[in-house]
Amino acid sequence: MKTAYFWLTPQGKQLAEQLQAHFGGTVEPKADFAEAVRRAFADCDALVFVMATGIVVRTIAPLVQSKASDPAVLVLDQRGKHVISLLSGHLGGANAMAEQAAAYLGGEAVITTATDVEHVPAFDLFAKENHLTIENLEELKYISGALVAGEPVSLCTAFPVEKNAFPETVQIQPFSETPRHACAVAIADTTESVAAPHVLYLRPKSLVLGVGCKKQIPPAHLEQCFRTFLQEYHLSLSAVEKLATIGLKREEPAILALCEKYRLPLEIVADADIQACAYPFAASAFVQQVTGLPSVSEASAYLASGCGEVLTGKVKYSGVTFAACRKTIEPLHWKERGQ
């Protein structure tokens, strides 16, 4: 975690240096305070201020954008008695950082997040701990509000969960069933909707897409095929972990452009692994002639997913093929606050 420490008084500098020595990071100079904060807000995972909260609020106010992207912000008095989690308590990790810093300094963590104060489930924290992508963060307030009020929430999941670890207010049911409550959390890698007034969609990185294409295919055409493939097979873009292809296509401009635009890693599957694989891929004489391999997209998806579940075979578009496989996902767990 990249952390920047800010101070305004000699005592504040001393405490900032003490925290930096223990937790790591960089103690920023006092000069050009506002500009240094602006740079750190865009570049760092966490900002720690040893100064009055009002100064911090006025300084960062123009920089705050979204709880999905803002860094953790902590504020301490210069004696380290109070460690305030000011911004991005869950997704940014400020609450956990405040507790750690307070424990180290012998001070008190000041946390105002309602779910933490009432010791009720926080699904943004659950998503972070299980590496799930929150697809519609605006629904989180309804889920959290229901739980804080003591109302049950349906957890509709297409993936295994450790049922005994969940609080009683979170009622687990299969994704295919209609939610029993007005607020629901849905965990799936497909885009089928859940019928409830308020639904928070969480996506595991479970999908691996294999891709093949003609040489020098236009990037815009490949992207259109990619979007069409996801739509036709009801696959969530948020659940795509990576793309995969063969060595011959490792420098294909359209594939590299697609990966860059959607921030997806590209895995190159070895020819020898495809040739040795016993899975009955849909072989193509043309592909065999051009690449020396019986399959490109389907074989790449299958092997890059760890021989996962084949969701689609090879799907053909003009000069492009895609295939999708689902990785095995470890059971999702609920971690009690403080563990």
Q: What is the pLDDT of residues 272-288, one digit of tens each?
A: 999 898 788 877 777 78
C-alpha span between 89 and 92 (Å, rounded): 6
List the structure tokens of 155.
């957890």
Q: Please give the pLDDT value at position 337.
A: 54
- CB-CB contact of 156 with 174 (8 Å): yes
209-245, pLDDT tens digit by residue?
999 999 999 999 999 999 999 999 999 999 999 999 9
For the cut 50, the answer to whether the pLDDT of residue 246 exceeds it is yes
207-326 folds as Nucleotidyltransferase; domain 5 (3.30.420)
Q: Please give the pLDDT value at position 120.
A: 82
168 or 107: which leads in pLDDT: 107
* Average pLDDT value for the chain: 93
Q: What is the CATH number of domain 123-204?
A: 3.40.1390.40
**Range 316-332 average pLDDT:** 95
15-64, pLDDT tens digit by residue?
999 999 999 999 999 889 999 999 999 999 999 999 999 999 999 999 99
List the structure tokens of 315.
């799907």
Proportion of the chain above pLDDT 70, given as a percent: 99
Q: Please give the pLDDT value at position 115.
A: 82
How many residues does the structure list for the chain? 339
Q: Which of 80, 83, 100, 59 is nearest to 14 (CA)?
A: 80
Domain ranges of the chain: 3-112, 123-204, 207-326
pLDDT band for position 338 (50/70/90)?
very low
pLDDT band for position 336 (50/70/90)?
low
The amino acid at residue 324 is A
C-alpha span between 59 and 55 (Å, rounded): 6
The amino acid at residue 256 is L
- CB-CB contact of 8 with 33 (8 Å): yes
The CATH-assigned architecture of domain 3-112 is 3-Layer(aba) Sandwich (3.40)
pTM to 2 decimal places: 0.81
For the cut 70, the answer to whether the pLDDT of residue 339 exceeds it is no
194-210, pLDDT tens digit by residue?
999 999 999 999 999 99
120-177, pLDDT tens digit by residue?
878 999 999 999 999 999 999 999 999 999 999 999 999 999 877 788 889 999 999 9
Element (H, E) at 224: helix 219-232
Q: Which of 187, 113, 138 is nearest to 337 (CA)?
A: 113
For the cut 90, the answer to whether the pLDDT of residue 116 exceeds it is no
For the cut 70, the answer to whether the pLDDT of residue 262 exceeds it is yes
